Amino acid sequence: MRRGSTNRELKHALLERLMHYYHFLCGQPGAPTPDTVTSTEIARLVHMDDTLVRKDLAAIGVRGHPRVGFRSVEVLSAIRGVLGFDTAFESVVIGAGRLGSALASYPGFASLGMGIVGLFDNAPQKVGLTCGRHVIQPMVSLPTVVRNHGVSLAILTVPPDATQEVADQAVAAGIKAIWNFASTSLTTPDDVFVRHEHISVGLAELSYQLSRMSEQ
């Protein structure tokens, strides 16, 4: 049955705002999270309208308390629930270059529900090397690792000309989603979710702002 459970897809922009709230409510280093926050306080922190904050929180089912605001733990746990941070899943990193190694060793993923159970690379001189807590494995081992650990996400940090082929192998191995850090677009089956991480978008914005500054 599950009435009440909103089953329509949440907009990308909403997810982004939720992550923004989550982030601020987790507290800055040194400043602990207070017990309750008002929508106005959140809004000021993230430079938004307080009505939108209340709408967003209502959309994910958090109830506020008149005269008090929202309880931080309730907000945080609702966001965790909606974003799926409490639904742990496993991933592999493919491409053991500098970026791949950095991601494979990043400590912040665990608390968001993502585990990394393998680091892969096909370069013979890399296979077998230790990288943080990982030993670099060859691509032939991918299907086995995916099966044994129930891996659902492949994080791709391979050179552009290899990305499509590696993506195909990951899909064939049974992964459900791809996080692509290469600047190439991918062709994948419809039931595989692909997220591109466009670092150049960030650079574009910086470049634009810097050239504006120097203009005057």
Which residues of the chain form contacts with DNA (CB under 7 A)? 11, 13, 38-40, 48-52, 54-55, 57-58, 62-70
Q: Which does 74 bind (CB under 5 to 8 A by kind): a second copy, DNA, none?
A: none
Is 77 a binding residue for a second copy by CB under 8 A? The answer is: no
Is 32 a binding residue for a second copy by CB under 8 A? The answer is: no
Out of 32, 87, 125, 190, the only residue in the binding site for a second copy (CB under 8 A) is 87
Out of 57, 93, 153, 173, the only residue in the binding site for a second copy (CB under 8 A) is 153
Residue 165 has φ and ψ, to the nearest 5°, of -65, -45
Residue 96 has φ and ψ, to the nearest 5°, of -100, 40
Which residues have CB under 8 Å from 97's CB, separation 6+? Answer: 121, 157, 158
**CA 3 from centroid of its chain's CA atoms:** 29
| Candidate ranges 56-64, 107-115, 121-129, 134-142; the one touching a second copy (CB under 8 A) | 107-115
Minimum distance from residue 120 beta carbon to DNA (Å): 38
Is 197 a binding residue for a second copy by CB under 8 A? The answer is: yes
Is 210 a binding residue for a second copy by CB under 8 A? The answer is: yes
Q: Name the residues that contact a second copy, by CB under 8 A.
A: 9-10, 12, 15-16, 18-20, 22-24, 28-30, 82-85, 87, 89, 97-99, 101-102, 105-106, 108-109, 112-114, 152-153, 160-161, 176-177, 179, 183-185, 193, 195, 197-214
